[in-house]
């Protein structure tokens, strides 16, 4: 389902839970109210419990992913082909400056570009992981709502499936993206900077967060168990986002330490005259 479909589904299920809980309260004769309608105001909080799991729209992340794919494409074959043209054009250039330009700029250039592609692929994976966390949190919220509705149905003596409890899918979102990084085009095996996502997020894993079955016939107890499951989901999201933050922090340290391998070396001829045959006259009028 699309993001919009997920949001609509979550909202409708939250409204259904509110409606069913109010009906159960009325049937049990709690308080001074007589009709389910009289209880709705007391249950308005239910919709808000689900809001944190759908309020972040993933579309801006999708736009960034598209942009990064374009950057990766631009950094690959076209750049290498143009550099081959430069090498051909400079074939007859001789001297110390020429040798320095070849050794310090042209020769390491392909590896420099590969390192830049590695950073782009890493950023793409990190953004994809952020989106995966949001996508999985919506799916888990829908599952929790379904479990709650099933429990309320059983409380109303309406036959429904049993809830056996299960691990939330939010756990492992970052690792799943890391494991699925495509190797087409530039070989991931050629990457050497050691970016965290490309390394499979090694050594970083979230503790499994499971959910207990929602049981009983008391609507208050059922709603309390729903809140416990939503709290577990929120905890799972926090764990996954913390994992991603640690990976990106490590990546920033790597980039800072290996900047000389990421940016093309500045040709020596840009800083000094080079060999005598390349020197410019110190006096423009001479």
pLDDT digits (tens, 9 = 90+) for 200-210: 655 565 556 66
Per-residue pLDDT band for 52 (boundaries 50, 70, 90) equals very high
Does residue 241 belong to any structural domain of this protein?
Answer: yes
Tally the domains of the chain.
Answer: 1
pLDDT at 156: 86
Give alpha helix (H) positions in the chain.
Answer: 3-28, 45-50, 59-75, 77-89, 96-101, 109-155, 173-179, 219-257, 259-262
Question: What is the pTM (predicted TM-score) of this model?
Answer: 0.82
Does residue 50 belong to any structural domain of this protein?
Answer: no
Does residue 191 belong to any structural domain of this protein?
Answer: yes
* pLDDT score of 243 more than 60: yes
* pLDDT score of 97 more than 80: no
3-state SS class at 4:
helix
Does residue 117 belong to any structural domain of this protein?
Answer: yes
Does residue 63 belong to any structural domain of this protein?
Answer: yes
Phi, psi of 211 (to 5 degrees): -125, 140
Q: Give just the sign of the alpha carbon dihedral 280, 283, 285, 286.
A: negative
- The 10 Å Cβ neighbour count of residue 149 is 20
What's the CA gap between 179 and 205, in Å, rounded? 13
Does residue 21 belong to any structural domain of this protein?
Answer: no
Does residue 255 belong to any structural domain of this protein?
Answer: yes
The chain-wide mean pLDDT, for the chain, equals 82
Does residue 171 belong to any structural domain of this protein?
Answer: yes
Quote the domain boundaries for residue 106: 58-265
pLDDT at 8: 98
pLDDT at 32: 60
Phi, psi of 167 (to 5 degrees): -75, 140
């Amino acid at each position: 389902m699309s993001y919009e479909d997920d949001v609509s589904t979550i909202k409708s299920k939250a409204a259904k839970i509110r409606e069913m809980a109010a009906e159960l309260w009325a049937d049990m004769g709690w308080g001074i109210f007589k009709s389910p309608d009289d209880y709705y105001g007391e249950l308005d909080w239910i919709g808000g419990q689900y809001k944190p799991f759908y309020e972040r729209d993933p579309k801006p992340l999708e736009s960034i992913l598209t942009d990064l794919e374009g950057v990766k494409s631009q950094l690959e074959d076209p750049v290498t082909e143009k550099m081959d043209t430069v090498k051909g054009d400079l074939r007859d250039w001789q001297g110390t400056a020429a040798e320095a330009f070849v050794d310090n700029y042209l020769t390491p250039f392909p590896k420099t570009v590969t390192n830049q592609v590695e950073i782009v692929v890493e950023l793409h994976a990190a953004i994809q992981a952020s989106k995966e966390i949001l996508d999985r949190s919506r799916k888990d919220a829908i599952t929790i709502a379904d479990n709650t509705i099933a429990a309320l149905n059983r409380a109303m003596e309406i036959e429904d499936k049993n809830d056996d409890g299960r691990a939330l899918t939010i756990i492992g979102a970052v690792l799943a993206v890391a494991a699925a990084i495509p190797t087409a085009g530039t070989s991931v095996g050629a990457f050497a900077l050691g970016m965290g996502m490309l390394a499979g997020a090694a050594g970083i894993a979230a503790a499994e967060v499971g959910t207990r079955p929602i049981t009983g016939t008391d609507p208050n107890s059922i709603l309390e168990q729903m809140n416990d499951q939503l709290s577990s989901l929120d905890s799972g999201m926090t764990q996954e986002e913390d994992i991603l933050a640690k990976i990106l922090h490590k990546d920033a340290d790597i980039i800072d330490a290996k900047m000389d391998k990421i940016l093309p070396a500045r040709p020596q001829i840009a800083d000094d005259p080079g060999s005598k045959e390349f020197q410019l006259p110190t006096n423009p009028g001479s």
